[in-house]
Amino acid sequence: MTGREFLELDSPQQRLYLERFKQMEVVQKILNELPKTDQNLCKHGSYFLAANSSLCGLAANNFFRNILHIRKAAFVSALPMACIPFLSTAAIYEVFVRESLFSGELNCEVCAVVRGGLIGAVVGGLYPICLAIPMNASLAARYYSSPLPGKENALRFWLTTARPVFRKMGLAVIIQALTGLYLATKHHGIYVKILQQMNTSRDPEELQA
């Protein structure tokens, strides 16, 4: 197979990639012309959801430390519980909601809102709580702060230990879900504004000049 035939076979994918790239350029140019409030919400809105996720991680970590009577390594346990949920929530929301919207892959408002709510509840709320379990289990075993069960009773022990934490964090998970819903709704609204400006433009190619 010659190089020319290879390029011809790949040309539909290449055209699709170029069209999507051009669309993203146009979207970004129009976004820069929107009010500052829309720009800031679009660019930095996910960080608010991620910051709340960090707070959920710190709160869950504190609850487990109190239950297991852990008094050492406070900073060592707090740092990953703040950073990992923040980075995970921001990255997943950016990929599956914001970038999907503004690249044209996600045009359904209901789908975007549902994605935002699920990411807020699961990644931004439940994930930090689950992450705190192995973190504090390792600290409790290392510092002998609380007697831990054997392998045969481990599941029952951690379910019993985690139940009050999940109960206390229930409101935080709901808030995270509502925050994700709100952000996804606002981001979809901004995307609709951009599409309206693209449709009303006489010559969209001029936006790329």
Q: Does the residue 93 lie in any domain?
A: yes
Q: Does the residue 119 lie in any domain?
A: yes
Q: Does the residue 134 lie in any domain?
A: yes
Q: Is the pTM of this model over 0.75?
A: yes
Q: Does the residue 77 lie in any domain?
A: yes
Q: Does the residue 25 lie in any domain?
A: no
Q: What is the pLDDT of residues 161-193, one digit of tens each?
A: 999 999 999 999 999 999 999 999 999 999 888
When computed from its CA atoms, the radius of gyration of the chain, rounded to whole angstroms, is 23
Q: What is the pLDDT of residues 17-52, one digit of tens each?
A: 666 667 677 777 888 888 888 888 888 999 999 999
Answer yes or no: are the C-beta atoms of 137 and 10 closer than 8 Å: no
Tokens 């789908």, located at residue = 111
Q: Per the structure, how many domains does the chain have?
A: 1
Q: Does the residue 126 lie in any domain?
A: yes
Domain, as residue range, for 150: 40-208
Q: What is the DSSP letter of 68?
A: T
Q: Under 8 Å CB-to-CB from 200, ≥6 apart: which residues?
A: none
Q: Does the residue 21 lie in any domain?
A: no
Q: Does the residue 195 lie in any domain?
A: yes
Query: How far is CA 37 from each of CA 31, 40, 42, 44, 46, rounded to the nearest angstrom?
Result: 11, 5, 8, 10, 14
